[in-house]
Amino acid sequence: MEIKTIHELEKQAFKKSHAEIGRIGAALFFLAAVLVFSFTTSGGVPNNLFLAIAAVFGAYMAMNIGANDVANNVGPAVGSRAMTMGGAIVIAMIFEASGAFIAGGDVVSTIKGGIIDIQGFGGNTDEFVWAMMAALLAAAMWLNLATYAGAPVSTTHSIVGGVMGAGIAAAGFTIVDWGTMGAIVSSWVISPLFGGVIAATFLLAIKKTIIFRDDKISASYKWVPVYVGVMAWAFATYLIIKGISKIWSKIIELVNFLPGVEIEVASKPSFLSALIIGLLIGLAVYKLVKKRLKKKLPEMSNDRGSVNTLFTIPLVFAAALLSFAHGANDVANAIGPLAAINDAIMTGGITAQAGIPFWVMAVGALGIALGLGLYGPRLIRTVGGEITELDQMRAYSIAMAAALTVIIASQLGLPVSTTHIAIGGVFGVGFLREWLDESNTIEREIRKDKSDLKDEKKQLNALRKELDSLQNKGSKSVDEYQRVTTLYRLIDEEESAIKKAKKQLKKEQKNLFVKRDMVKKIITAWVVTVPAAAVLSAMVFYMIKGIML
């Protein structure tokens, strides 16, 4: 029996290692293809080797964005079982790449977030190229480490830290816009707080209007179309603002070809236009859902599980739209510095904005999709189930938090991170569950057991101290020998009681709705992302500079 078990373990280990080798092989093949393509297509350009290496760094960064950041878009849907892992990865890969190719823009800011002044390089193109290469590699390395540790972090903050560190290494601390950095630091608080509050608010509203009602069928017929319609409005507005704003002028030009239509062409949609279009889409979805529910509700059971299923299809659309918007926006984290390097090498100058050649966009889009397919499941599981248990209603609330927070923040001019918003939403629904359910009792029991454990340890230490004192005494009376024997017995009993209390405490902590260890790990990763990427970037910059000089 034992030999059979060992053989089975060996088979599983071999299968796992074989799959890991396959993933590494696919990633290396992609990097090698990018290196060969970029080197052979820029053969007549001076410093084309730098461009080829930078392209590899950009591809590596893009894969790490896919592996880490995309989990926030599909993790709640997978965790709630609205989508399978395989289905979520396929949908996210398609929409991430589509967002990057279709709405990624023709021009990208060379310095992410405007955190350093390009004038600080004094026109030294070589140092600028080295700094951007260092920023890409350092940000990718940090994301790789965070993904391995199972911590979802902001890819935007990673590249911001990389650019800042390389900029300081190249031109000193004066090159950094510390006001902008202060705004980025503030997003560490703003993003999860907004995400958590909005997600908890929506979940509480669903519970009060549907779940806590005796007749859940009638309540669902009344309120589910409202919630799905609001979701459609929010996501349409979100997509227009964040997903297709870069191709808005082209869309208007196409519309103007229709007979009798003439709309003034604008570079990007106004907030009011986005709201109105989103509202029209939301009303259409409301009517459609209402019509479908009329047929479906008579077949449903009057329980929570049936209500949950009504949010499944909206969650699939939410995951797809979030992925599209993410691909359109966050591909710039990988290709921004790469586009800057390409522009600097091709023109010999340094600019605040650079055009994006198709091959550079392809590196970003395909890299994100490949990274998600190869290494995305690790973080998807973390976001979807290792922080708190999710169902479709909770996942819906998190998706709403992601869309609404970006809409509100964009109008208030507040810096936010979509990663922090999504994770904040997960925290929000988890803590709401604790507040609503019996978790207050669990919290009190944990505090009481911790206090009892502390007292037990104090008593044990006192007994050990008394025992040591008696043992160190030269001659002992009969009573003292008896006391030593008693102390040994009491110490054994105290150690057994402490062991039992620790086991009970561990069991109670597992019953908490939000895993505290995960909260601590994720927040720590958030706080250290910018400085860690900055230090790594400065080290890489000095290494490149040392090789070249």
Per-residue pLDDT reduced to its tens digit, 216-226: 999 999 999 99
Supply the pLDDT for residue 271. Answer: 86
Which residue has tokens 């009481």? 448
Regions in the chain scoring below 70 on pLDDT: 1-17, 106-113, 253-267, 437-450, 452-453, 474-476, 478, 481, 504-512
Residues 6+ apart with CB under 8 A from 547: none
Beta-sheet strands, E only, within 93-215 = 107-109
Supply the pLDDT for residue 500. Answer: 75
| H/E element, 353 | strand 353-355
Q: pTM score, two decimals?
A: 0.82
CB 183 within 8 A of CB 192: no
> What is the C-alpha end-to-end distance of the chain, expressed in Å?
64
Supply the pLDDT for residue 439. Answer: 47
Supply the pLDDT for residue 116. Answer: 86
Q: CA 74 to CA 91: how far, in whole Å?
A: 9
CB 141 within 8 A of CB 155: no
Q: CA 50 to CA 134: how far, in whole Å?
A: 12
| H/E element, 355 | strand 353-355
Long-range contacts formed by 39-46: CB under 8 A, 24+ apart = 41/359, 42/345, 45/345, 45/346, 46/345
Q: CA 331 to CA 59: how far, in whole Å?
A: 11
Tell me the Ramachandran region of residue 153: left when phi exceeds 0, alpha when psi lies from -120 to 50, beta otherwise: beta
178-206 and 418-436 are packed helices; what angle lies between their axes, rounded to 10 degrees?
40
Could you read off the pLDDT of 127-143 as tens digits, one per residue?
999 999 999 999 999 99
Exposed, middle or buried by CB within 10 Å (0-12, 13-18, 19+), for 179? exposed
